[in-house]
Structure formats: structure tokens, C-alpha cells
Amino acid sequence: MNGTPRILNRILIGILGAKLLAIGTLLVLLATVPAVGSWWQGWSAGVWGAVRGLFDRTRFPGRSESWLWIVMVVLLLAVIGVMVAWLAQQGKGRANLLVAEDDAGEVPGSVRIGGGVAEQALRAALADRPDLAGATVATYEFEGEPALRVRVQPRQGVAPHILAAEISALVQALDAVVGKRTPVLIHIGSGARSRFGRAERVR
């Protein structure tokens, strides 16, 4: 429901995991296989010599410093900018308002109901239930309209369809109080204390 780029996150995690696996494998081989250690010493010496030669060829005229350091700093700043932009994309889609209506009647005005009202009301209704190990409620923007996501973790032995129906009844009562039907995603998750597969229901 939110705007988190899950596919991109999984690709990045996969690339990072592959790199860490390759580095770990190389370290194990270096520590256990003498031939790999000898190859690494020769290869790293050649690479280091090539890098030193590159820095020597890119020095400023009449100075000992290389302009490659400036290029490296610019690339590092670009990487930092990309990381900041990527972090800014995480969790997007949250909404602050649940209802925003304008009334052009005898006394023109507007009605604004924050998403925190619905979140607190539903959390309070679900907090003392003995059949739940945890419950969270959040307001998101879905297709340009505010919507609620109710995520619950039932205890072992609780029927998910009955739980979904009871949460739907709570949401219907909230709709009656607010005066507007709100889209809701009911997410029933599994964990260490609930052993059946998760289910999702949209109303």
C-alpha cells in the first residue's frame, strides 16, 4: 500500500548479499588454500602497481597531487546523494488526513479528521484482545484517497476468517462515526506465536 520500492530494495539486497558471499568465500580460501594466497599476493601487487602508475600519470603539472582524488570525492558525493534519495523513498505513501471535506452550506467551512484519530481508535479496540499478540494501524494514501492498513498477529489457534470479520465490524463502526467509508487492508500475519500462514483481506 505504501510507496516503498520493494523490487529495487530486493535487487540491492541481492547484490549486497552476493558481494558479501564472494568476499567471505575469498577470505576462507586465502586462509586455507596456499595456492590462492600466492595468487592473491601476485595479483594485488600488480593491481597496486597499476594504481600507483595511474596516479603518477594524473598529477597536476608541477605538483605531486593527482586530480583523481577530486574525481573520487565527486563520485563519493554522488553515491551519498543516491543513498539519501533511496532512503527518502522508504515508507512513502503515509497520509496525515483520513477525511478532508469542504462544506459550501449556509456557513461555508471544511472538515479535517487526522489519520491518528482512526489509528488510535482501532489500536485501543484491539489492544486488550487476548487472541492477539500484536496489532498496528497506519494511514496510507491509496489511489489518491486515504486508506487504513490494519496489521494483526493472532495467537495460535485463532481462526483468521473470524478475526478478519471482527476487525471489519470495528472498521464499519469507525466509518459510521467518521461519516465516510474508508478503504482498509486487513493483514493477518504469522509469527513465533501464530503458526498458520498469513492472509490478507481488502474491504
- pLDDT of amino acid 79: 92
**Which of the two residues, 191 and 107, has the higher pLDDT score?**
107
- Which residue ranges does the chain devote to CATH 3.30.300.30? 97-202
Encode pLDDT of 22-74 as tens digits.
Answer: 999 999 999 999 898 889 888 888 888 888 888 888 888 877 788 888 899 99
For 78-117, give the DSSP string. Answer: HHHHHHHHHHHTTTTTB-SEEEEEEE-SSS-EEEEEEHHH
CA pair distance 179, 112, nearest whole angstrom: 12
- pLDDT of amino acid 199: 44
| Percent of the chain predicted with pLDDT > 90 | 13
Kind of pairing, strands 184-188 and 145-154?
parallel
The chain-wide mean pLDDT, for the chain, equals 81
| pLDDT, average across residues 99-119 | 75
pTM: 0.51
CA pair distance 188, 151, nearest whole angstrom: 6
CATH no. of 97-202: 3.30.300.30
Kind of pairing, strands 184-188 and 109-114?
unpaired
